[in-house]
Amino acid sequence: MKEEAGQVFQKRLERHHDELRWLYMELYGNDSMFAELCDHMWQFYTERKARLKEDDAGREKDGGWYRRNDMLGMMFYIDNFAGNMKGVEAKLDYISGCNVNYIHLMPFLDTPKGRSDGGYAVSDFRKVQENLGTMEDLESLTAACRERGIHVCMDFVMNHTSEEHEWAKKARGGDGEYMSRYFFFDNPEEPARYERTVPQVFPTTAPGNFTWLPDAGHYVMTSFYPYQWDLNYKNPRVFNEMMYNFLYLANRGIDIIRIDAVPYIWKELNTQCRNLPQVHTIVRMMRMISEIVCPGVLLLGEVVMEPEKVTPYFGTVEKPECHMLYNVTTMATTWHTVATRDVKLLKKQLDTVNALPKDYVFLNYLRCHDDIGWGLDYGTLRMDGMEERAHKKYLNDYFQGYAGGSNSRGELYNADPTTGDARFCGTTASMCGVEKALEEQDGAALERAVNLDLMLHAYMFLQSGIPVLYGGDEIGQLNDYGYKEDPDKAEDSRYLHRGPMDWKRAERAGDADTLEGKIFRGLGRLERIRKTEKVFVSCADTWTVETGNPSVLCMGRHYDGEQLIGVFNFSEEGKMVRLGEDGGSYLDLLSGEVCRTAEIRLPGYGFYYLKKR
Ligand code: GLC
């Protein structure tokens, strides 16, 4: 048996060895560190549980296992959702009841209270935050999920550590070996040279890219918050140790590793310190390392940038990097469409995505734990007279509820007075108008808001890839203004849409007469259609159709002889559209009625899933 296991590992290692060694030597030129990496890979392989290896083997054979049409994700903070890891385990029935088979547990590793950036400042990669549980609880949770066919995703925050990480503490104490794991400078000139070309991530909440440490007499590079110290991947010790952390976590039963802030992990003077070629070398090495030790694990890259910068993270067919990436421009363009009631830019964006190779798997979403940045195609918008600065202001005014007949509620994020730039925070339901309608006790407005919320989900589900809901959105969770009372959170408006799950409201999810029931049941119907109709597989042919109406989007999918078109009205007014010449008769999958595409009547914020007969 041992011999056999050794052969499996050897075969995988042989497949990748030359390329892995080549890339490693190119970056580090260090033979003995490479040998150490290989030894540790074997070590982690031998420690990997039989059950995980079984799934590795199955997934290796069925490389498309995550492209199925039944994949549906949900992301949540463990404490907000269910108190702790055990609490999440106790909620698995609820999760399955949401048709969800992929959960993203937001950062749960050890992090200093009040200086955590929502857990994205890790002080120990091998310890769970005490209030959330232990590594054993994590393993018990992932094992329970595995039995139910629920895949578990976690963040791997590899760009930086918390200032409380033991490396950082030693570095701060002046230990040169540890200082070399970060970027330390004993003079202000070098940081100033970087600042000339490096943009800012948090211009208001954490301006600049360096932090002065008076006790250490040094500056340290901190692209994010001052307590998040950037790791120096030029040091092979950093790369090796972080890969060991990655494999350690993979061995706890994690299925999807979200590589946090991946474009930032390599820095060079006189560059933007983003998307440098060495980043791709590192991600490619990670992909090979995981294919050798734990091929059942997927890499999800967090690249919140314009499309040209995102897709390179898929790598190439021969040299793949990430399995999955966020469809971030489509997400932002969706909200632009809500605010303008004009689908033109969205159609163009979907055409761009539809033209990409079908093996690319995108993670689709309406919102996540982060702000919405208005990264739109301003070149195209300019042709219609929309200037970037003015349009961003319009969108921010709109979603705060100030402009354009808006019913949205939410808050700005990192409003930068010098550039006039700001991003946006709010839950899906609040941005759709649910919060305002409830406040004003306006029944008709509430109905409109729910319709918009459901239409947006229906449209999102029709995109290729894996849709991911933010936990609570399935019952129309509203903005949570409580964060303002907590001094640790008050400065960071992203907490507005990270509020605790309201289980009292969730109890009403089964009742069709309640707000929660309308959204929950509405989503449930869509999710069931999505998982039964094979045209929803990620690799289907997809296209958009011109509807002749600026507010109505039409998308088609074709797979294995079946065809489905989705029609979505982004306006609160009823619309009538003709979809070309009469393309035959269709079955409306929601009502079960038969219709023809020659003339389709859509109510305000209405939509159809029409299956060709
Ligand atoms: C990612 C996370 C974000 C965090 C940042 C720094 O962008 O999504 O929440 O602030 O990384 O780790």
pLDDT in tens, 551-572: 999 999 999 999 999 999 999 9
**Is residue 302 annotated as a catalytic residue, yes or no?**
yes
- 261 CA to centre of ligand 1 in angstroms: 6
Provide the pLDDT confidence category of residue 131 given band limits of 50, 70 and 90.
very high
Using the atom order of ligand 1, give the atom closest to the CA of residue 304: 7
- Comparing C-alpha atoms, which of 258, 253, 296 is closest to residue 85? 253
CA dihedral (578, 584, 588, 589) positive or negative: negative
Question: How are beta strands 102-105 and 73-76 bridged, if at all?
Answer: parallel
> Among the atoms of ligand 1, which is closest to the Cα of residue 157?
12
CB-count burial class (<10 Å; 0-12, 13-18, 19+) for 118: middle
Angle at 466 between CA 460 and CA 470, to 5 degrees: 70
Q: For the whole model, what pTM was predicted?
A: 0.96
- Is a pLDDT exceeding 80 seen at residue 515? yes
C-alpha of residue 473 to centroid of ligand 1, in Å: 21
Amino acid (1-letter code) at residue 521? R
- Evaluate whether 5 touches 50 at the Cβ level (below 8 Å): no
For residue 595, give both structure tokens.
């219709």
Q: What is the mean pLDDT of residues 45-59?
A: 97
Q: Which tens digit of pLDDT belongs to each residue from 57-76?
A: 999 999 999 999 999 999 99
Residue to substitute in 125, 158, 260 for testing ligand 1 pocket (most ligand atoms within 8 angstroms of CB): 260
One-letter amino acid for residue 157 of the chain: V
The secondary structure of residue 423, as a DSSP letter, is E
- C-alpha dihedral, 588 to 537 to 68 to 366, nearest 10°: -80
Output the ligand 1 site: residues, CB below 6 A. 117-118, 120, 157, 224, 260-261, 302, 369-370
Q: What's the CA-to-centroid distance between 369 and ligand 1, angstroms?
A: 9
Q: CB atoms < 10 A from the CB of 466, how many? A: 26
Q: Whose C-alpha lies nearest to ligand 1, atom 10?
A: 117
pLDDT digits (tens, 9 = 90+) for 314-360: 999 899 999 999 999 999 999 999 999 999 999 999 999 999 999 89
Q: Is the pLDDT of residue 2 over 70?
A: no
Q: Count the alpha carbons within 13 Å of 147 in the hemisphere toward its beta carbon.
A: 8
Output the pLDDT for position 564. Answer: 96
Alpha carbon distance 459, 326 (integer Å): 16
Q: Averaged over 509-519, what is the pLDDT?
A: 97
In the annotation, is 260 catalytic?
yes
Structure tokens at 566: 């989705």
